[in-house]
A and B are shown apart, each in its own frame.
Chain A
Amino acid sequence: MSSRSGPAPFWICHECGAQMRPIMIDEIPHCASCHGEFVEVLDQEINPDPFHELPHPPTRPSQLPPRIPTENRPPGSPPAEPSGILGSIFGLFQGNPENHVHPPALPSNPRTVGTGDTSTTNRGDGTRTWTFNIGGGRGSVTFGTIGGMGPGMGMGGGNVDDELGNIFPGFPRGLGGQNPFPSIDTEIGPNTQQGPAMLRALMSALMDENMLPAHLQEPMFLGPQGMVNMGDYVATEQGFHDVLEQLMQAASPQGPLPATDAVIEGLPRYKLDEKALETSQFKDCPVCKDDFAVGDEVMRIPCKHIFHPDCLQPWLKVNGSCPVCRFSLVPDEVNHPESSTAPNVTQQPQQNAGTAITNMLNRLWGQSGTTSPTSPPTSGPSRQPDNLPNPSNPPNISNPPSQANPTPDPATSNSGVQASEQSQSSNSSAPSGDAGITAPIYPTIIPAEYLRRHRDQERGQNTQNSQNNQSAGAGNQGRDDSPFEDDLELD
């Protein structure tokens, strides 16, 4: 369909999600539904991929759990910063082997490498302690047995055990492999199938813990098929219901909801006397069109419009707004339920993520006492602040000042939660010195840079359109500095 010969294309509003034809205010397209300015034309020719710059279709900020920006990532490269524990886990699989795994070549020299959150410690006895940050907690898992007697971890499932040996080269089993660290995203050979299988085991464990919600925010999941957007999948029933609810909200009419009985009952009623009738500017009932008469009982909406009660009430039970001026009798939070209810839904799994991960790891890597004796994963309370000195926790072990980790200073480790989410960035792009100091800025709204580019693009389009379409103005050029981010302060 072409915008030149066909009908005018629909636009999408990135603020309210509505698809509409925009209204032009000062030659700027505004959403016809929410009057937001962040709208984009949906036209195959002009704008083949409206979401191409965004990692996910945008949602309201209230529905966005913290997310790491992934734009500007070269296509095909691993995600810049998979956040949180999953990032740590994936980092172990896909990441730079030197950063995480050491050939057990220095048997007498306990070594730790890592940039503050995910680190493996090789002990001289062949055990491997993997430490990680989860949300607000820290845990560690020890692989192998004290004394190097072979794989002694109590594993829940035998196949997982086998795969572990192949994936973690420090694990005695895997030592013979020529490529003990299969890179999942590039090598899809028969001999690297262990990686995905391991991931599957992890993912299913995560699902069991009910902690992979619909809004799984790991930006990309590197599966055998290449880049897969995990946000496209739901893993739990709750997630499925969330998606259903979103779809139904999107499909239902966006008009105001009915007013509640309490609101209707609360509207003032009075009888019109002669004086009131004379001074009133409303001479007839807008619904039944009958003239008001002395003695008529009327109901008044806060916008001052008056109606016969019998005329107004049936309408308000359908649509809680004034028939004349559309003054809404429905509170905003009822009109936009997502802003009030979504946080409960989406944040709850996040708060539990630490505990759930710990439980999951417990199940995966054995409850039978072979986890690190000094720091059993269960002792990593998910809410314990990272900067509390905890002698039983590995940070002291894993962050010796002599190592490459530039942020051993305990004062900076109070950003440990954020730093953990940044760990992968120190692998790929960001200088590792930033990892512990700069907390990432979570884009709770659409990134400002994207907005700016979007606006520039829009302007270009407008000038283009104005050649063919008189109605499209070219008057946007003067608004280069307009702080339209402010317009995104959503309700």
Chain B
Amino acid sequence: MALRLSTKRLMKELKDIQEKGTPAGIIPLSTESVDEWVFLICVLGDETIYKGEQFALRLIFSDRYPIDCPQVTFIADDQYQPPLHPHVYSNGHICASIFGNEWSPVLTAVSICITMQSMLASNKKKERYV
């Protein structure tokens, strides 16, 4: 293979995003880098406790993507704060099975964003682990 699987796969995903766009509430913020992408995540609708909030999800891809799971965190800086959620630590780290045992190479950057969006959407209480 001339091109590494990770690069090839990311190029393919990027092309898909550019051609087909992303689902509502998920906005690619920076996808220029080969190994680090940032998406803005909003939970749409009136029912959510995160109404009007925006969170920045950073994905860092290793050489072994998609065999290995990317490193996924919410950005915690002056501009963005991670969501208040029982599975999200104040430093932006996320406790989710798909980032551990249940990672599968079938998952993509966009599907990760959708998962995070629905994780927030299903939350009813703004609680934080630590």
Contact = CB atoms under 8 A, between A and B. Distances in A.
Interface of A: 5-8, 253-255, 286-290, 310-311, 314-315, 318, 323-324, 326
A7 B86 contact: yes
Interface in B2-21: 5, 8-9, 12-13, 16
Nearest to A324: B106
A323 B103 CA distance: 9
Contact of A288 (B12, B68, B104, B128): B12
Given A288-B5, A310-B5, A7 B127 contact: yes
Contact of A255 (B12, B64, B102, B127): B102
B105 interface: yes
A310 B13 CA distance: 19
B67 to A, nearest CB: 5
A148 to B, nearest CB: 71
A288 B9 contact: yes
Contacts of A288: 5, 8-9, 12
Contacts of B33: none
A318 B106 CA distance: 14
A308 to B, nearest CB: 9
Contact of B129 (A7, A286, A290, A311): A7
Contacts of A315: 67, 105
B106 A323 contact: yes
B102 A311 contact: no
Contacts of A287: 5, 9, 66-67, 105-106
B20 to A, nearest CB: 13
Contact of B67 (A8, A286, A314): A314
Contacts of A286: 105-106
B1 interface: yes
B104 A324 contact: yes
Contacts of B13: 289
Given A255-B101, A287-B105, A287-B106, 19 more contacts: A7-B86, A253-B100, A255-B100, A286-B106, A288-B8, A289-B9, A289-B13, A289-B16, A289-B108, A290-B8, A290-B12, A310-B1, A310-B5, A311-B105, A314-B5, A315-B67, A315-B105, A318-B68, A324-B106
